[in-house]
Structure 1
Amino acid sequence: MFSMKDILPNTLKSMGIAKKYNSYSVIIHWEEIAGGEIAAHAWPVTIQRGTMILAVNNSVWSHHLMMLKNELIDKINSFLHEKLVTDIRFQAGYFRKNQNQEYKENGENGQSVSPVRLNANELELIGNMVAYINDEKLRNKIKYVLIKEIATDRAKRLQGWKNCLSCTVLVPPGTSYCTICNLAQKEAKKNAMHQLLIDAPWLTYQETNSYIVCSLKEYHLTKKALVHNLVRRLFQPNVDKVTEASLVMLMTGIKPDKMSQEFIDTMISKIKIKLFEKKVRRKNYVSAPRS
């Protein structure tokens, strides 16, 4: 006779539902894994392709749990004895209110999906699939996961859900990518735009958009992040001329063949003076005595 602990992993793997079962286990046993204090402020929404989406009730706790991310990942994987989670993404402002209730399947974008009722033949087939498992507790758990998975999958397909273009996760009509793949695509686009504007900091939005399709907001946010990074480097020892020239091109849009070293030096001097004056004004405002 084999114990539940010995037979469970191979049984689930043979049925192709091991990761789904473990994902349910993390959500159902979250308070046991993370502890009562964390569970009172954050609750897992879904786990896809190694990434867990963790709903947090406010940005303060989101920041706090960001510092504990590696520790949480270790706790989850230790609980499952499997490396199921490799990353955690935080969603501040949304929080599962009924943490102690049984996990209910949610679709992409928070859409709730109610499983359809399986017919007698389907239930009999699932019963036959797990009939060889002697341990009643184990048999019932696996049967529940199979029914839940098949019924929910069918409900989604009846509502027009299709497979994500990058993976096998089902997504609602009008959606091309699941949450995780969408986040990965946004991150890849952000990195590509970042590199493009490092290589060619003079590019306008129209020119950037011709290389990488992006919104005006994405373009400005990328430029703003690069400008802030280069401004910080201005005050580091031995700042190089390339950094100074890149900063000027980002801020003015002037191409390198249209700039002189004198123009770059003048612009950098103006930037430093402006930053110094801003710092002085802030200092005077903070230290000004109250009347």
Structure 2
Amino acid sequence: MFRLKDILPNTLKTIGLTKQYNTQSVIVHWQEIAGDEIASHAWPVSIQRGVLLLAVNNPVWSHHLMMLKPILMDKINTYLNEKLVFDIRFQAGNLQNYQNNQEDGVNIPLLQPAKLNSEELADLWQATAAIQDDSLRKKCYYVLIKQTALHKAKQQEGWKSCKRCNVLVPPAQVYCTVCSIECKQETKQAITKLLTEAPWLTYKEVCQFVPCSPRQFHAAKKRLVHKLIHALFQPGWDKLNEATLVMLMTGVKPGRINDTMVDTVIGKIKVRLAEKVRRKSHVSAYRR
């Protein structure tokens, strides 16, 4: 007699279900992997293309877990004995929505699973033919039925493939959660690069090269301004950086900018920073 845990890995590998099984294992055994404290504040939603999406119940824990990302990834991959997770992303969420969506270690789909016909059932049974143990074969067969029935239900409800991967998403969505996060990150980087090279561009002009929302544009511009202001007193600061900062803040094009304008704007920034430092020093002294 062989123990189930000894023969399961090779069997799953034979029928091509290893990644699906390991992905589900992270969700089912999350509390054991992450520990009680982390599990009480964060819960896995999905793993897609090596990215684990965690629902976190408050911003403080999001920041805390961001610092623990390497440790968490190492724990997960060590537990699975496979490098399955390469990154972790976080989203705000009610953990009960995910914790209560489990039964016997299998996620309960939000959609009602579709009925499979005899031909589909036969194909799934044939897919498990390599499993010698009858009990194990039936368990894998039922898992396949549930996954296939849910996939079929999504197709019947008009779900379509994500534009960047094969994951099915609701009709109103264009991208799956992971791809959506990746797209936003790529857009942010593209806007930042464009404004670094041409800091005088307006929102409409940027949209001709990088389609984005006004919020994305202003957020990227604000981050770049703060970055340059922070570097204002650092070694290596030069006139080019000053001109870039002025063009970002005023929208003035290179042909119209001059030394007087740069000195005036930079001077005002330095005065404001000095006032801010004095106010902070005054508050600190008062508290003491």
TM-score above 0.5: yes
In structure 2, what is the equivalent of residue 35 of structure 1?
A: 35
- The 8 Å contact of residues 59 and 93 in structure 1, kept in 2 or not, is answered as no
Is it true that 1:54 corresponds to 2:54 in the alignment?
Answer: yes
Deviation string 1:41-79 (CA, Å, 9 cap, x unpaired) is 211011111111111111111111111111111111111
The one-letter code sitting in structure 2 at the alignment partner of 1:196 is L
| Distance in 2 (alpha carbons) for counterparts of 1:48 and 1:169 | 9
| Distance in 2 (alpha carbons) for counterparts of 1:99 and 1:216 | 36
| Equivalent residue pairs, number | 285
In structure 1, what is the equivalent of residue 74 of structure 2?
A: 74
How far is the alpha carbon of 1:286 from its aligned partner?
Answer: 4.2
- The 8 Å contact of residues 57 and 93 in structure 2, kept in 1 or not, is answered as yes
How far is the alpha carbon of 1:241 from its aligned partner?
Answer: 1.3
- State the SS of the aligned residue for 2:96: coil
Match of 1:211 among 202, 209, 219: 209
Is it true that 1:86 corresponds to 2:86 in the alignment?
Answer: yes
Deviation string 1:183-231 (CA, Å, 9 cap, x unpaired) is 1111111100000000000111111111111111111101100000000
How far is the alpha carbon of 1:126 from its aligned partner?
Answer: 3.2
Deviation string 1:131-166 (CA, Å, 9 cap, x unpaired) is 552335533442232112111101111111111111
| Stretch deviating more after TM superposition (174-183 or 112-121) | 112-121
Match of 2:232 among 211, 231, 234: 234
Is it true that 1:104 corresponds to 2:110 in the alignment?
Answer: no
- The 8 Å contact of residues 33 and 79 in structure 1, kept in 2 or not, is answered as yes
- State the SS of the aligned residue for 1:65: helix
In structure 2, what is the equivalent of residue 17 of structure 1?
A: 17
The one-letter code sitting in structure 2 at the alignment partner of 1:118 is L
- State the SS of the aligned residue for 2:45: strand
In structure 2, what is the equivalent of residue 188 of structure 1?
A: 186
How far is the alpha carbon of 1:12 from its aligned partner?
Answer: 2.7
In structure 2, what is the equivalent of residue 174 of structure 1?
A: 172
- State the SS of the aligned residue for 1:47: strand
How far is the alpha carbon of 1:128 from its aligned partner?
Answer: 4.4
| Distance in 1 (alpha carbons) for counterparts of 2:38 and 2:131 | 36
| Stretch deviating more after TM superposition (119-128 or 251-260) | 119-128
CA spacing shift, 1:212–1:105, aligned 2, 3 Å: farther
How far is the alpha carbon of 1:83 from its aligned partner?
Answer: 1.2
**1:139-178 alignment runs, 5 A limit:** 139-178=137-176
The one-letter code sitting in structure 2 at the alignment partner of 1:184 is E
| Stretch deviating more after TM superposition (249-258 or 35-44) | 35-44
- State the SS of the aligned residue for 1:83: coil
| Distance in 2 (alpha carbons) for counterparts of 1:69 and 1:50 | 14
The one-letter code sitting in structure 1 at the alignment partner of 2:112 is S
The one-letter code sitting in structure 2 at the alignment partner of 1:282 is K
The runs of 5 or more residues in structure 2 that have no matched partner are none
- State the SS of the aligned residue for 2:46: strand
How far is the alpha carbon of 1:274 from its aligned partner?
Answer: 1.3
- The 8 Å contact of residues 45 and 98 in structure 2, kept in 1 or not, is answered as no
Deviation string 1:86-123 (CA, Å, 9 cap, x unpaired) is 111111243135737424255xxxxx223224355544
The one-letter code sitting in structure 1 at the alignment partner of 2:95 is F
- State the SS of the aligned residue for 2:111: coil
**TM-score scaled by length of structure 1:** 0.89
CA spacing shift, 1:281–1:246, aligned 2, 3 Å: same
- State the superposition RMSD in angstroms: 2.3
- State the SS of the aligned residue for 1:45: strand
- The 8 Å contact of residues 15 and 130 in structure 2, kept in 1 or not, is answered as no
In structure 2, what is the equivalent of residue 109 of structure 1?
A: none
The runs of 5 or more residues in structure 1 that have no matched partner are 107-111
| Identity percentage of aligned residues | 54
Is it true that 1:260 corresponds to 2:258 in the alignment?
Answer: yes
